[in-house]
Amino acid sequence: MVRPSIRVAVFAGAGASCFAGLPTVCSFFKRAGWPPSHGFEAACQEIARRISISEANEENLAWPDFDAEKLFGWLEILERAGRIHGQSIDIHVPNLRFTIPADAVISHLRKEIVRIYGSKLATETLLSAPHQSLFKLLDDLTPRSDPLYVFTTNYDTVLEQLFEDAATSQQVFRHKLRVCTGFSSARPGQWQPALLSEKPKSDERLIHLVKLHGSATWKRDDAQQPIETGWRMPTDQDCLLYFGYKSVPEHEPFFTLHTLLKIALLQCEAVIVIGFRVADPYIRELFDFALRSNTSLRVVCSLTRPPEPNSALSTMMHRFPGRVVLLADPSGKPIPFGHESFPEILEQSLRNAGTVG
């Protein structure tokens, strides 16, 4: 029998949205559109080359398979440096007769992020989502007096659409569903971090959906305050995103959102990590700190394949044996999200770790 007082959180990476045909962080550039004669793709390839040189690897040779978050982070640094100096910083690309402004490149890529990840899913795609069994299990595991925390680094609105559908179908959650992202329900929604401190009402299931890297539908208003627009198409106004591969966020809404992750990791007994290999340095640091401080914490990872030797996740598994584990069948084969035996093996994994009684 499942013990009803367990604290479990979900951490959804790009692998949790693959069912919708959305690209992962390493396949984004395959889907990006490149205006002819602008040189944007060449500029991105040149930055990828420089990143590979600085990291002493040959990742750029696989272009367009390249970690988009890593490249976005470098472009953002160049863009900000240009603002500080009051002039555009150009990217010099060998074999091109002109240079490409960094701010123009990242502005184009932000619009591509909205175009690719902001799209509304078709009804049949929503029906094929593998999330129902996961959230049914979590609804049983999590006491209704506590909010259920769902963290994600994804820019897409897949989870919002799934929760909207679940709220009307009443087939997943046993009580009325309320989802809080930290923005008011109006459009545009105003950033109100106090909303993420609320407790559930007696007749509802409250989910705190924490989008650590922002969303394709988030922007800043004229006063530079965060807003949730609900807009799914690119506009001249850049979307509000927090690219990975950085240190502690200093500005809202990302300061509050990452603080929530830190608090949850220190309080939870289990975190179910889906399609995320902890490549983001700051998030990896938060997990490492929590595992050292919260000795009851278990991290269960659902991936399509085992982590590469010496990778960040592999290192974490060796550092915390039995506490950071790969969700696998009895033969050791990984059980990816959406596999028919996913719910059963996940619950069994939690039982074996002593998390579920």
**Is the peptide bond prior to 281 cis by the omega test (within 30 degrees of 0)?**
no
How confident is the model over 212-224, as pLDDT tens digits? 999 999 999 989 9
Cα separation, 250 vs 262, whole angstroms: 15
pTM, 2 dp? 0.93
At 3 the pLDDT is: 46
Question: Domains in the chain, ordered, with CATH?
Answer: 8-24+121-352 (3.40.50), 28-117 (no CATH)
The residues that bridge with 11 in the sheet, in sequence order, are 151, 273
Going by pLDDT thresholds of 50, 70 and 90, the confidence category of residue 236 is low
Check residue 354 and give its pLDDT. 65
pLDDT at 2 over 60: no
Residue 93 contacts residue 43 (beta carbons within 8 Å): yes
Model pLDDT for residues 248-288, shown as the tens digit of each residue:
898 999 999 999 999 999 999 999 999 999 988 899 999 99
Can you tell me which residue has the tokens 């795609």?
Answer: 125
Residue 87, C-beta contacts closer than 8 angstroms, at least 6 positions apart: none
Please give the single-letter amino acid code of residue 41. E
Tell me the two tokens of residue 19.
């069912």
C-alpha 155/C-alpha 45 separation (Å) is: 23
3-state SS assignment for residue 295: coil
In contact, 23 and 31? CB cutoff 8 Å: yes
Provide the pLDDT for residue 357: 62
CA atoms within 13 A on the CB side of 4: 3
Give the pLDDT confidence score for residue 122 in this predicted structure: 92
Closest by CA to 48, choosing from 95, 112, 91, 4, is: 91
Predicted pLDDT of residue 257: 97
Percent of the chain surpassing pLDDT 70: 97
d(CA 253, CA 228): 11
Residue of 241, 221, 222, 219 whose CA lies nearest to 230: 219
Q: How far apart are CA 171 and CA 142, in angstroms?
A: 17
Q: pLDDT for 61-120, tens place per residue?
A: 999 999 999 999 999 999 888 888 777 889 999 888 889 999 999 999 999 999 999 989
